Structure 1
Amino acid sequence: MENSPGPAGRPAETDPRFALMDHAMGYLFSAALRAVAALSVADHLGAGPRPVAELAEAVGADPLNLHRALRLLATRGIFTEDAPGRFALTPAAELLRGDVPGSYRAAVLMLTDRTFWRPAGELEETVRTGTSPFDRLFGMPFFDHFARDAETAAVFHVGMAAMSDPENPLVARACEFPPASTVVDLGGGHGGLLLAVLREHPGVRGVLFEQPHVLREHRLGELGADDRWDLVAGDFFAEAPPGDFYLIKRILHDWDDEQSARILRHCREAVSEHGRVLVVDAVIPPGNDPDPGKVIDLLMMSSLPGRERTRADFDALFAEAGLRVTRVLPTGTRLSIVEGAPAT
């Protein structure tokens, strides 16, 4: 019977109004997650469970309000209240520690940064007008703001690295590169993906193509074979260096179709005769099933001019740039490799 008593005498929440209420207040979970990540709460639970009063003193927080935030997060498996007023880590909360391998804390702080949070709060404007409110809120476009604000840029690049590092080895293994080929990582940030490719494919050479201020923080020295890679400074809207394979990971989804086609066109002009362009992005599936790409798509919509794309969208985009999609490869991550070859 609908709304019959559930646990602890509460009505069973089958009424769709309850679901709508939960969805409408979902942003409070993200807010709580950001708060405890910013306060480094998980770092203070590495040695074991602690009373919330001790945690609050350690991180400089109000005990009652910290308890309330942790109590909400515990309902989704992030932290657990193993005794009244005492909290412990869970596998998800462990990743919020800043001192563990594979820490996801920087990614959480990036995804909940004001550069995403504030425009998302104005999504009604975006849906109504077709344009992002980012320029109005911050006085300039997204990447211009990053170029002028070193602190925000650091949040973005460190956060992207934290989000990408677990994916990069899997993406690298899914790629096929003949020995002695040159792989260009276009807009590759600090070089995490290219580093994984060079480790997985010892016969190839790599080129990290990025803006000068980003290249200064590159990680390719971790390879221990400096003769296998080069740094090239430039703007992918203006050019692409010569190469056999072009990796474009989480770049095209930042830009609209005209801008994305321009990036691909430069790759088409620079690629060798039998080379390939490899776009590593989400590919939105048809139907109503949940998909992470559908969520990220709204993040792009609110703060950037870009979007996530379907297979048909990629076919049209590649054709506009003089390329044809040859196949779409799974990677074992939330991203796929859309492979393109020069159109005949």
Structure 2
Amino acid sequence: MENSPVPTERPAEADPRFALMDHAMGYLFPAALRAAAALGVADHLGTGPRPVAELAEEVGADPLNLYRTLRLLATRGIFAEDGTGRFALTAAAELLRTDVAGSFRSAILMLTDRTFWLTAGELEEAVRTGTSPFERLFGMPFFDHFARDADTAAVFHVGMAAMSDPENPVIARACDLPPEAVVVDVGGGHGGLLLSVLRDNPASHGVLFEQPHVLREHRLAELGADDRWTLATGDFFTEAPPGDVYLIKRILHDWDDERCVRILRNCREAVYDQGRVLVVDAVITQGNAPDPGKVIDLLMMSSLTGRERTRAEFEALFDQAGWRLTRVIPTGTRLSIVEGVPAT
């Protein structure tokens, strides 16, 4: 009797049910990624590959479970296991270190924080009702929770800065600013984008418009020219400082149409003659191709009241707020610049 051939791949993998099963369990990968980031594993691999037993002792983890977690991450190029069972950094894992330029660890901790994680688990409620489950789970709306919980707010703002730092210089170069413009960064967080814009436009003056507890951690002093920027506190739903150019990065996607129009209208009422607005957000494309904006869109659905928008949807917002959309400028990042000028 002849020997049966040895199968070279798992049986029935062409069956779409197996692909669906993999998709259904996909949440375990970000869970593993968060665990490795929270434990600080990457910080202990900077000098080279290490046995799991040593890593586990240093980070305070169970050796077997740490091994199982790193083994899964290694299947996607985050950490690498050698033939002796030691783990080493990869280019992606390197960015989980806290002591390297461009560290992305805080961004990972933000994106996998329970404020997003728990609400994503209740996405069905958002789909059924058209409202976010956040307030039911946390007892208050998203930004109210952040304003009252200093630890969570720090996770969010530091994580957003880490996520934004690689893209801000690229986006700043794509901004077409008039000479000596007064640039108002609306809800600009710690000021990372405004800092990049001011570095690229030495004749411009910047205004960072934010809430007081956010401005306490601003970074504009890094510019080394304190006369070129001003801090302004206030509520972008009720007012905006005067200026030539309004930067609104990753703000409108947090809010429903009514409140987006309110933000844009306040800028329209405060803008100087010949001014403009530059909304920096994902612009959703039509079709079935993968689009990172469609992923973030569900994050907005589960935790907030906003959404990612198409060009036509931005145009409708601009029209209601007294702006005319002039163009959508690619930036080379996952975000585009949606430019508007005052409607006549």
TM-score, normalised via structure 2 length: 0.97
Superposition pairs for residues 137-286 of structure 1, below 5 Å? 137-286=137-286
Alignment of 1:57 with 2:57, yes or no, is: yes
Number of the residue aligned with 2:37: 37
Distance 1:336 1:12 in 2: 42
Distance 1:179 1:227 in 2: 17
Alignment of 1:319 with 2:325, yes or no, is: no
Residue type at the aligned position of 1:175: C
Unmatched runs of 5 consecutive residues or more in structure 2: none
> Does the C-alpha gap of structure 1 residues 48 and 258 become closer, same or farther in structure 2, counting only changes over 3 Å?
same
| CA displacement, residues 222-259 of structure 1 (integer Å, 9 cap, x when unaligned) | 00000100001111001000000000000000000001
Shift of 1:302: 0.2
Number of the residue aligned with 2:120: 120
Alignment of 1:20 with 2:17, yes or no, is: no
In the TM superposition, structure 1's runs of 4+ consecutive aligned residues that sit over 6 Å from their partners are none
- SS for the counterpart of 2:82 is strand
Distance 2:101 2:285 in 1: 32
Residue type at the aligned position of 1:40: G
Shift of 1:85: 2.0
Distance 2:292 2:28 in 1: 19
Shift of 1:83: 2.2
| CA displacement, residues 113-163 of structure 1 (integer Å, 9 cap, x when unaligned) | 000000000001110011011000000000000000000000000000000
- SS for the counterpart of 2:35 is helix
Number of the residue aligned with 1:102: 102
Distance 1:179 1:262 in 2: 28
Unmatched runs of 5 consecutive residues or more in structure 1: none
Residue type at the aligned position of 2:129: T
Distance 2:311 2:186 in 1: 21
- SS for the counterpart of 2:44 is helix
Does the aligned pair in 2 maintain the 1:6–1:12 contact within 8 Å? no
Shift of 1:11: 2.1
Alignment of 1:310 with 2:310, yes or no, is: yes
Shift of 1:12: 5.7
- SS for the counterpart of 2:286 is coil
Number of the residue aligned with 1:339: 339
- SS for the counterpart of 2:33 is helix
Shift of 1:295: 0.2
| CA displacement, residues 63-121 of structure 1 (integer Å, 9 cap, x when unaligned) | 00000000000111111102242100110000010110000000000000000000000
- SS for the counterpart of 2:13 is coil
Does the aligned pair in 2 maintain the 1:116–1:299 contact within 8 Å? yes
Distance 2:205 2:167 in 1: 21
- SS for the counterpart of 1:173 is helix
- SS for the counterpart of 1:54 is helix
Residue type at the aligned position of 1:26: G
- SS for the counterpart of 1:324 is strand
TM-score, normalised via structure 1 length: 0.97
Distance 1:133 1:10 in 2: 40
Residue type at the aligned position of 1:279: V
Residue type at the aligned position of 1:162: A
Q: Percent identity?
A: 81
Distance 1:322 1:264 in 2: 8
Residue type at the aligned position of 2:208: L
Distance 1:122 1:180 in 2: 48
Residue type at the aligned position of 1:336: S
- SS for the counterpart of 1:76 is coil
Number of the residue aligned with 1:92: 92
When the two chains are superposed, the root-mean-square deviation of aligned CA atoms in Å is 1.1
Distance 2:11 2:79 in 1: 27
Residue type at the aligned position of 1:332: G
Distance 2:111 2:46 in 1: 24
Q: Which deviates the most, 223-232 or 82-91? A: 82-91
Does the aligned pair in 2 maintain the 1:5–1:12 contact within 8 Å? no
Distance 2:177 2:279 in 1: 15
Distance 2:211 2:7 in 1: 57
